[in-house]
Amino acid sequence: MNHNSASAVRSVLETEGLTPKKRWGQNFLIDANVRRRIVSLLEEPGTVWEIGPGLGSLTELLIADGFRPTLFELDHGLIRHLRELFADSVAIRPGDALETLGEALEEDGSPQCIVGNLPYRSASAIIAKIAELVLRPRRMVFMIQTELADRLKAPAGSQDYSALTVLVQSHYSVARCFSVGSSAFYPAPRVGSAVVTMEPVVDYPDMATSRATSSIARLLFGQRRKTCAAILRQAAKRASGTTYPSEATGAPNGNGGSGLAGEQIRAAAATLGYDLTRRAETFTVAEFLDWGRAAAGRL
């Protein structure tokens, strides 16, 4: 099919009885140059997971370049189209990627690459899930909203710096490669887009450290205008005799669901000499990781 024009894509969707679903953030990439640049960033062919393949415009290039794709797609209509288009050339994982990524990792192991024009409404959750699963492909290339790209690359102390930044930068080196205008999509989104690459860092944290680091960051960034000391005091009081959800994380006892309590986090900070009158955004990723390592020893 012709993936390079809005009218051609619209015609295929109509023939298949499909419409772009706003709730799933479906915006089909119709710029051939952008697609080629994305695939070229993957470099050497190998096994690749493609998240959100849509009508298969990137998939087509991946197969032509010698990649062996597994497609993660939620929309049953698009899955039917992809099976008709590619037959046995691809494997397809139907369902929500937030669930099927873990299943694929358990059954097939980590791929060599991951790529995707990620649905804007779930892109941050998908990227967080990849980090939480400790996936270590040699390279990932994602089309995401400009705002999310800014968050992934944000330095400590900036407005965009967040718990997601800490989680992602703990595991991956992030590079912003190029911006993409709305005319490259059908339908055209109302937000800017950017392509980023992510590669595993050398000192990749173990699972216990990663979970503890993420838990601390989510708790503290949940009330980022407060000092860390105030947040941890509140968490300790909550843990002392109540089980209602935390205002900061939505998890019981304000511990982010990790088993870490406020006093454990405070004790870990004391061993590192951290000044808890600071706010979360002032701690670097390296400091959060050291905090997570110290706290993981108290789980």
pTM here is 0.90
Q: Which residue has the higher pLDDT, 24 or 222?
A: 222
At 166-178, the pLDDT tens digits run: 999 999 999 999 9
Task: Tell me what the mean pLDDT of segment 228-233 comes to.
Answer: 95
The larger pLDDT score, comparing residue 239 to residue 27, is at: 27
Mean pLDDT along residues 185-195: 93
d(CA 114, CA 214): 22
Q: What's the pLDDT band for 148 if we cut at 50, 70, 90?
A: very high
Q: Is residue 247's pLDDT more than 50?
A: no
Burial of 259 (0-12, 13-18, 19+ CB in 10 A): middle
Q: Are 88 and 42 contacting, i.e. CB atoms less than 8 angstroms apart?
A: no
Report pLDDT for 248.
Answer: 34
CB 165 within 8 A of CB 280: no
Q: Flag whether pLDDT at 242 surpasses 60.
A: no
| Cβ contact 145:168 at 8 Å | no
Q: Which of 45-49, 121-125, 259-263, 290-294 has the lowest mean pLDDT?
A: 259-263
What Å distances lie between residue 205 and 88, 171, 285, CA to CA? Answer: 37, 7, 12
Percent of the chain topping pLDDT 90: 76
Percent of the chain predicted with pLDDT > 70: 91
Find where tokens 């994305």 sit. 38
Tell me what pLDDT residue 59 has: 97
pLDDT at 17: 85
- Predicted confidence band of residue 249 (pLDDT cuts 50, 70, 90): very low
pLDDT at residue 7 above 80? Answer: yes
Q: What is the pLDDT at residue 25?
A: 66
| 285/96 Cα distance (integer angstroms) | 30
Q: What is the pLDDT of residue 256?
A: 44
Out of 178-182, 189-193, 263-267, 295-299, pick the least confident: 295-299
pLDDT for position 241: 54
How much is the average pLDDT of 77-92? 94
Q: Confidence band (pLDDT; 50, 70, 90) for 19?
A: confident
- Cis, peptide link before residue 45, omega less than 30° from 0: no
Would you state the pLDDT for residue 41?
98
What is the H or E stretch that residue 195 is in?
Answer: strand 193-200
Query: Domains of the chain by range and CATH?
Result: 6-200 (3.40.50.150), 207-296 (no CATH)
Quick one: average pLDDT of 144-155? 97
For residues 189 and 261, which has the higher predicted lDDT (pLDDT)?
Answer: 189
Lowest mean pLDDT among 105-109, 119-123, 199-203, 219-223: 119-123
Structure confidence at residue 299 (pLDDT): 45
Question: Is the CB of residue 131 less than 8 Å from the CB of residue 172?
Answer: yes
Residues near 15 by beta carbon (within 8 Å), at least 6 away in sequence: none
The pairing of beta strand 113-117 with beta strand 47-51: parallel
Rounded to the nearest 10 degrees, the angle between the axes of helix 163-171 and helix 207-221 is 160
What residues form DSSP beta bridges with 260?
none
